[in-house]
């Protein structure tokens, strides 16, 4: 017997399919003009923007789970072209709060009667999000913020996660292998993170851990948890007010140094990711405020994560390489983290990184250089070789959103200078130099040993050659299926020659119907042979650079 949850999931599947099928068909026609065959077609930027708007409307219509999915997709340039990323970045996790009567049932099921637990409770929500809503109240004379999980959200999210799981094999047929890798990671990551975000016990634990890491920092404020009034579906915290961090006019009126704010924010995230290994992963302006003395306040730790030791080391290597403008070091770090394909064109990617470094330093970049590099990428790479393993996706989200906030505060903000200063103060650059010297010493020692060992080995090899006693075993890797393609062309050529000869003989023998059939078969073979010589094409994704205004420059604005 089919359960109620399954029936709900089936119904949602058809609703979701109804919204997304037109987009998928359009995408399939981009790859093959007649869906299953035919050449690919180029899609201009205006068409992609129009489709991205359609996708945005669909996500909003489908509700909380898909709003969250859209927010996550907005940080994944390895899956979507930049036009989609730009449009989806407009998605705000702000939806009208559920009516108080339903929210009250959740609150009372978790803590008991409202009047018994709170001295005051304002039943008008001060903010509403897709998974929860926040109210103002008082406990023991202290003003607190009470976060309540949205009523009925668990059943809806589980049904939607089933739909996403069922839809994945279908989506795989419409995208390339590289994006399929990222899409699978995204689906797994999304299911995990949205469940974690609904668990307020976990959020309380992460909040307290991060808060303890910043106890000695006067310019960072994180509300403490009121444990007596919290549970898996309700989280009560100290209320800390402030000015929303992107309200720059109000900050200027209060005389707050916006450059210092940006510096403090970036250093806080560098500490979380590189040093502490646990970080707040949703730093959009709605979750960041500024007190009158310039202290930055962090809200909403539902989306948070851990960074393992290996990734921390690689991120440090990456930042040090950026600080030293060591392009090879940057590419090596990205490859070791699994973010960049080892088969990527290093010269092209090096040009991209040089441009990104200049932009991160706030330097002016000529439009023609951006266009030149974009064309270089399109000419040399079938699929832009950036991948996002699941353990790095949240880190990228943080880097992208924090960068946007910092640029809003200070348009000329130099990310590299701040990161370099932080790494130097914390001793990471000194450690890197020591490691380099140690590795160089080991290499010199290995080279000296090799000089001693090589002559006897060379002499033995030459003796075997002299005795005709040397055999070589060769293994050829063919990752691009070159031999397979050559074999197909050879077979098609033989069949074409045979078909042409057969057609001519049958026509000469006045067996016109048979000659016509043979001719049609020969034409099909001609088509297959022509197709095998065609250059592989697809929907190219233009690379994402570090700032949104860089994409504007690329468009010549």
Per the CB < 8 A criterion, the answer to whether 181 and 387 are in contact is: yes
As a whole number of angstroms, the distance between CA 412 and CA 389 comes to 31
Per the CB < 8 A criterion, the answer to whether 330 and 352 are in contact is: no
CA-derived radius of gyration, the chain: 30
DSSP 1: -
Cα maximum dimension of the chain:
106
Distances (CA, A) of 422 to 269, 331, 397, 545: 11, 22, 21, 23
Instruction: Report the candidate in 498, 489, 286, 279 with the shortest Cα–Cα distance to residue 398.
Output: 279
- The residue assigned the tokens 């042979």 is 529
DSSP 228: G
CA 439 to chain CA centroid, nearest Å: 33
Instruction: Report the candidate in 238, 240, 227 with the shortest Cα–Cα distance to residue 111.
Output: 227
Per the CB < 8 A criterion, the answer to whether 146 and 134 are in contact is: yes
As a whole number of angstroms, the distance between CA 184 and CA 388 comes to 10
Instruction: Report the candidate in 301, 299, 303 with the shortest Cα–Cα distance to residue 240.
Output: 299
- The encoded tokens of residue 453 equal 């060992």
**End-to-end distance of the chain based on CA atoms, in angstroms?**
60
Per the CB < 8 A criterion, the answer to whether 436 and 324 are in contact is: no
CA 269 to chain CA centroid, nearest Å: 18
Instruction: Report the candidate in 64, 83, 13 with the shortest Cα–Cα distance to residue 540.
Output: 83
CA 3 to chain CA centroid, nearest Å: 35
Per the CB < 8 A criterion, the answer to whether 309 and 337 are in contact is: no
Query: Which residues, 6+ apart, have CB-to-CB distance to 23 below 8 Å?
Result: 51, 54, 55, 58
537 SS3 class? coil
Catalytic positions, please? 282
As a whole number of angstroms, the distance between CA 55 and CA 84 comes to 8
């Amino acid at each position: 017997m089919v359960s109620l949850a399954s029936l709900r999931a089936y119904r949602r599947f058809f609703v979701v399919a109804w919204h997304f099928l037109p987009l998928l068909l359009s995408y399939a026609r981009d790859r093959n003009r007649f869906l299953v065959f035919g050449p690919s077609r180029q899609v201009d930027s205006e068409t992609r923007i129009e489709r991205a708007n359609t996708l945005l409307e669909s996500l909003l219509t489908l509700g909380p789970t898909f709003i969250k999915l859209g927010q996550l997709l907005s940080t994944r340039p390895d899956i979507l072209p930049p036009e989609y990323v730009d449009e989806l970045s407009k998605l705000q996790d702000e939806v009208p709060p559920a009516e108080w009567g339903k929210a009250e049932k959740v609150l009372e099921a978790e803590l008991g009667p409202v009047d018994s637990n709170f001295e005051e409770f304002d039943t008008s929500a001060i903010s509403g999000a897709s998974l929860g809503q926040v109210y103002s109240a008082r406990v023991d004379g202290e003003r607190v913020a009470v976060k309540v999980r949205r009523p009925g959200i668990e059943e809806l999210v589980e049904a939607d996660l089933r739909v996403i799981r069922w839809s994945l094999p279908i989506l795989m047929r419409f995208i390339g292998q590289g994006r399929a890798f990222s899409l699978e990671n995204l689906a797994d990551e999304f299911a995990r993170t949205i469940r974690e975000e609904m668990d307020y016990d976990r959020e309380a634990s992460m909040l307290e851990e991060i808060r303890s890491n910043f106890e000695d920092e006067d310019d960072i404020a994180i509300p403490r948890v009121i444990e007596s009034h919290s549970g898996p579906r309700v989280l009560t915290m100290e209320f800390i007010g402030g000015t929303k961090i992107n309200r720059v006019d109000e900050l200027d009126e209060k005389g707050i140094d916006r450059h210092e704010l940006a510096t403090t924010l970036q250093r806080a995230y560098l500490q979380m990711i590189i040093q502490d290994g646990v970080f707040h992963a949703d730093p959009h302006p709605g979750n960041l405020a500024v007190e009158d003395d310039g202290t930055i306040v962090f809200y909403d730790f539902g989306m948070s994560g851990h960074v393992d030791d290996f990734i921390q080391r690689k991120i440090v290597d990456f930042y040090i390489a950026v600080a030293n403008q060591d392009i090879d070091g940057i590419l090596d770090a990205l490859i070791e983290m699994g973010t960049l394909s080892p088969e990527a064109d290093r010269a092209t990617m090096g040009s991209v990184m040089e441009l990104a470094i200049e932009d991160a330093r706030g330097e002016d970049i000529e439009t023609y250089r951006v266009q030149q590099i974009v064309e270089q990428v399109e000419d040399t790479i079938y699929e832009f070789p950036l991948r996002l393993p699941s353990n790095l996706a949240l880190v990228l989200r943080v880097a992208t959103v924090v960068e946007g906030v910092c640029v809003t505060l200070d348009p000329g903000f130099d990310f590299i200078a701040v990161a370099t200063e932080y790494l130097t103060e914390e001793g990471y650059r000194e450690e890197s130099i020591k490691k380099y010297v140690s590795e160089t010493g080991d290499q010199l020692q290995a080279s000296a040993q090799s000089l001693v060992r090589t002559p006897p080995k060379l002499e033995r090899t030459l003796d075997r050659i002299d005795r005709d006693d040397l055999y070589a075993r060769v293994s050829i890797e063919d990752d691009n299926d070159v031999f397979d393609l050559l074999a197909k062309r050879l077979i098609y050529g033989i069949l074409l020659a045979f078909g042409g000869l057969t057609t001519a003989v049958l026509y000469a023998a006045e067996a016109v119907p048979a000659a016509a059939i043979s001719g049609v078969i020969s034409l099909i073979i001609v088509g297959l042979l022509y197709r095998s010589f065609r250059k592989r094409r697809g929907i190219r994704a233009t690379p994402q650079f570090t700032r949104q205004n860089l994409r504007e420059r690329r468009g010549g604005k």
